[in-house]
Amino acid sequence: MRAAAPGPDRSRMVGVVDASRAILDGAQDLARRSRRVSWLAWGSFYAAYGGFLVLVLLGLFFPVPGSVTNGSSGLSVPPLWAYLVSFAPAGLLLVAAVRELFAARAASRAVIRGVSPGPARPRGPDERPGWTQQVVESQKLLTNAKVEVDWSILPIAGCLLGLDGAVGLVVETATAGSASLVPFLGVVLGLGFVCPFVYLLYRIGQQWIGGFQQHLDRQVREVSALEAEFLWRFAGSPA
Amino acid sequence: MIGRPDVFVIGRLLEAMSTAPGPIRRTPLQQRAGLNYTVFQRYLEYLVRLGFVVAAPGTDDLLELTPKGVDAHRFLADGLARIFGPVDGGPAVPSERGR
């Protein structure tokens, strides 16, 4: 009757349970990354429009040799380096946000492929959520992450449009306000670069979180089927 | 009484029993499975009802796995490993175990 058998099999079930926790760890990592993307995106947005303020202040209060005066408005125009100083923070934050978005997608794919980014976080006996609890928590995290990433695309678009405007100002400064191509340049950059780039980032955000959600849904379906089969086979009823 | 049973909890309990050196008492079994008392009691009662676990012959408080319990353990361990990927835990439970 006794089915005892010493051996290495204990770690098998423990390993499975640990592997099942990877989904929650992955969702928590995804939530952290989406929050970072959000912060960086909004940071780049405020930095871009703050850059215009800095530019105006530089032009008004710190006139530097080499500035020219725009005859029509009477405002002093700052030199080219002032643009760099004003908009560099926005550019850096934007690059950081985009990099984080790409890095998050790579991390999400690794979890889906079953490649853990690191060893499973050790948990105490009181810190072992059941499968259902893990799924519920992961789904909540994924929903929040999706909302956060969706809303991050807006400030990124705003930042890019702000930088688009800054490029127009630079061209105007470089050509001493005589360029008739400035509005044209703004439209071309907006339609040719900003719109496709923002759409690309939106798609990456969707794929990143959507792929993870599909992975979780698939696991839920498979565990559910296993449960049903187990009950049918061993308990004589499907539920 | 449990509603829809958690296959992970059942798997952990069955594994804790199958890897014990012999018939095992309730408290060490609970510790090996890493479950709290309430969940342990509920699931142990369920496993007894399904015929996976019985009291060892001639004892009151020692429990052992039945062949049906061994089958169930193998079924769950294999099924869950298929879903969550291979784990570093050694080979699958041999099919002739406990027979």
Confidence of residue B92 (pLDDT cuts 50, 70, 90): very low
Per-residue pLDDT, B2: 65
Per-residue CA distances from A209 to A28, A137, A205, B34 (Å): 12, 15, 6, 33
Q: How many CB pairs under 8 A join A and B?
A: 147
Among the partner-chain residues A8, A125, A234, the one whose CB lies closest to the CB of B89 is: A8
* Cα separations in angstroms, B71 against A25, A105, B7, B41: 31, 40, 14, 22
Specify the residue for token string 């050196």.
B21
Q: How remote is the C-alpha of B75 from its chain's centroid? A: 11
Show residues of chain A in contact with B52, CB under 8 Å.
Answer: 234
Question: In the prediction, which pLDDT does A35 show?
Answer: 93
Give the one of A11, A22, A126 whose C-beta lies nearest to B89's C-beta.
A11
Mutate: best of B83, B88, B95, partner A, most A CBs <10 A: B83
d(CA B64, CA B58): 12
Residue A8, pLDDT score: 44
Flag if B64 and A2 touch (Cβ within 8 Å). yes
Distance CA A82, CA A87 (A): 9
- With an 8 Å Cβ cutoff, the interface of chain A facing chain B consists of 1-20, 22, 114, 125-126, 128, 130-132, 219, 222-223, 226-227, 229-231, 233-235, 239
Q: What digits encode the pLDDT tens for the residues B51-80?
A: 999 888 877 788 988 999 999 988 988 888
* pLDDT number for residue A3: 42
CATH class of B7-84: mainly alpha
pLDDT in tens, chain A (239 residues): 444 444 444 456 766 777 777 788 888 888 999 999 999 999 999 999 999 898 888 777 766 554 455 544 455 667 777 888 889 999 999 999 999 999 888 888 887 776 554 555 555 555 556 777 888 888 999 999 989 999 999 999 999 988 888 888 887 777 765 656 777 777 888 888 888 999 999 998 888 888 888 888 988 899 889 989 998 888 876 55
Among A10, A131, A132, select the one facing B15 at the smallest CB separation.
A10
| A52 CB-contact burial (10 Å; exposed 0-12 / middle 13-18 / buried 19+) | middle
- Pairwise CB contact (< 8 Å): B4 & A239: yes
The more confidently predicted of residues A36 and B92 is A36
Rounded Cα–Cα distance for residues A223 and A131 (Å):
9
| pLDDT (0 to 100) of residue A157 | 92
